[in-house]
């Protein structure tokens, strides 16, 4: 074992099971069994032979070791599987793989794996959505400073931040539901896609196979199903990864000691933050998500390159997608799993958020003061320029913005001392933030009901 997925460092048991080698073989055997059954249904082969093939199309009989042993000789993975199944099927083995080409089996088996993988990812995203709803509701009124360009901007709420993430997650759920209609397709069309080897019941055979396996038929295909659908899926996985990256990056930033507003949980009794610095409490799970997001985004280029093929078939897709499809699914599922863990145990320092609002001595409320001035009759441009200069004075002289405002004759001409106090209160300048959070929670819950 070499790669960290193989060594057990990354990935959940459920998703790794979908893509492990034995399950892959089983899914291909499932397709072979469905093909034999369909041939029997249309009268191409005796039903007893189809039953024998179906019984033996299991890794209980067709061993991975035997397939590899044959492959050493024939240098073809699918042909090796076909021969191993035929061996176990006795005289019925004559009907194994009848009329099919390798990628009738491979592409359809891939659709079965992706169906299982999508179900796991969707369920994981649904769990993440539940947590984001709960956090948005819990923290909808908890005030913190909003930052743009890394600088203090205006007050917002922590619940508003969670709502932004919640809606990005909801869009990702919808995108994956939408792509499944195009992605989960198989084919039974033979070499170059003409179905010549399937005989006069070709259309019916393909329909029967896909109905039995629970995936749709590709509308039309060459010797492989067109890879634009797989490329779309990998692009969507990279979107999910980037959404998680965005969340993790924000938590990492807010865990900085100079900010100190959000924190990953830390097992104080045993967890080690650094091999040499005993004081360290690193946001290492968030960092892991951010690192893996780079890998997932890196899968997009080979996925797009796989859309291109020579004529009706070449092998350039095969080697690449043996990496990108399992890796994409395993890593994204694992990243969602990690984010669920992070958010469930997230530590929030409300007092630090309040203290951080005071860092600029009230200058972050300059827009609020400007709106008061405009309402009292001052020209908007004049108000902006006046306040720009006063914020500079406050910073340069290290004096509170309230003090600067209270001693300025231009401000005094429009605002009373009480007006200035009200204009400088962060809780009075949240706009519709809390209402927006409530509306987004309601919308998300409605979508969850519609999804069942």
| Helices 21-41, 77-88: crossing angle, 10 deg rounding | 60
Catalytic annotation, pick one of 80, 97, 102, 149: 149
Element (H, E) at 208: helix 202-213
d(CA 422, CA 363): 14
Catalytic annotation, pick one of 274, 319, 417, 446: 274
Structure tokens, 124? 């994981």
CB atoms within 10 A of CB 285: 18
Backbone region of residue 221 per phi and psi (left: phi > 0; alpha: psi in -120 to 50; beta: other values): beta
Decide if 383 contacts 371 (C-beta within 8 A): no
Whether residue 394 lies in the annotated active site: no
Whether residue 311 lies in the annotated active site: no
Element (H, E) at 138: helix 102-138
CA distances from 252 to 241, 286, 342 (A): 16, 7, 11
Decide if 379 contacts 397 (C-beta within 8 A): no
d(CA 96, CA 205): 14
E strands within 162-298?
Answer: 185-186, 216-217, 262-263
341-345, Cβ contacts within 8 angstroms, sequence gap of 24 or more = 341/285, 342/248, 342/251, 342/264, 342/265, 342/285, 342/286, 342/289, 343/128, 343/131, 343/132, 343/135, 344/131, 345/264, 345/265
d(CA 232, CA 184): 12
Structure tokens, 170? 């909801």
Active site residues: 149, 274
């Amino acid at each position: 074992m070499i790669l960290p997925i193989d060594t057990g460092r990354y990935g959940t048991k459920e998703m790794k099971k979908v893509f492990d080698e034995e399950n892959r073989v089983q899914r291909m055997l499932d397709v072979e069994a469905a093909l034999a059954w369909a041939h029997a249904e249309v009268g191409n082969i005796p039903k007893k032979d189809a039953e024998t093939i179906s019984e033996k199309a299991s890794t209980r009989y067709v061993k991975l070791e035997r397939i590899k042993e044959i492959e050493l000789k024939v240098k073809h993975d699918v042909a090796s599987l076909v021969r191993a199944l035929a061996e176990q099927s006795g005289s019925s083995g004559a009907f194994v793989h009848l009329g099919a080409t390798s990628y009738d089996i491979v592409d359809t088996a891939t659709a079965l794996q992706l169906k299982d993988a999508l179900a796991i990812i969707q369920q994981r995203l649904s769990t993440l959505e539940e947590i984001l709803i709960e956090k948005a509701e819990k923290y909808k009124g908890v005030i913190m400073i909003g930052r743009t360009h890394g600088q203090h901007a205006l007050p917002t709420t922590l619940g508003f931040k969670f709502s932004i993430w919640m809606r990005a997650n909801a869009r990702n759920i919808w995108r994956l539901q939408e792509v499944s209609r195009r992605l989960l397709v198989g084919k039974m069309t033979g070499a170059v896609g003409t179905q010549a080897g399937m005989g006069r019941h070709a259309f019916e055979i393909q329909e029967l196979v896909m109905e039995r396996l629970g995936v749709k038929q590709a509308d039309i295909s060459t010797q492989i199903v067109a890879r634009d659908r797989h490329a779309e899926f990998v692009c969507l996985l990279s979107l999910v990864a980037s959404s998680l990256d965005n969340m993790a990056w924000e938590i990492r930033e807010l865990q900085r000691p100079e900010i100190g507003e959000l924190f990953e949980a830390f097992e104080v009794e045993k967890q080690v933050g650094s091999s040499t610095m005993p004081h360290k409490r690193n946001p290492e799970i968030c960092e892991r998500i951010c690192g893996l997001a780079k890998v997932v985004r890196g899968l997009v280029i080979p996925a797009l390159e796989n859309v291109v093929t020579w004529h009706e078939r070449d092998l350039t897709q095969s080697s690449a997608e043996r990496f990108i499809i399992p890796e994409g699914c395993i890593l994204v599922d694992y990243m969602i799993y990690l984010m669920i863990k992070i958010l469930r145990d997230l530590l929030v320092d409300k007092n630090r958020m309040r203290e951080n609002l005071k860092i600029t001595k009230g200058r972050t409320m300059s827009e609020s003061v400007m709106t008061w001035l405009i309402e009292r009759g001052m020209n908007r441009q004049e108000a902006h320029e006046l306040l720009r200069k006063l914020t500079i004075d406050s910073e340069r002289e290290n004096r509170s913005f309230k003090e600067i405002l209270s001693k300025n004759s231009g401000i005094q001409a429009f605002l009373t001392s009480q007006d200035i106090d009200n204009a400088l209160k962060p809780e009075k300048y949240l706009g519709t933030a809390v209402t927006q959070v409530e509306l987004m929670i309601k919308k998300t819950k409605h979508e969850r009901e519609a999804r069942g």
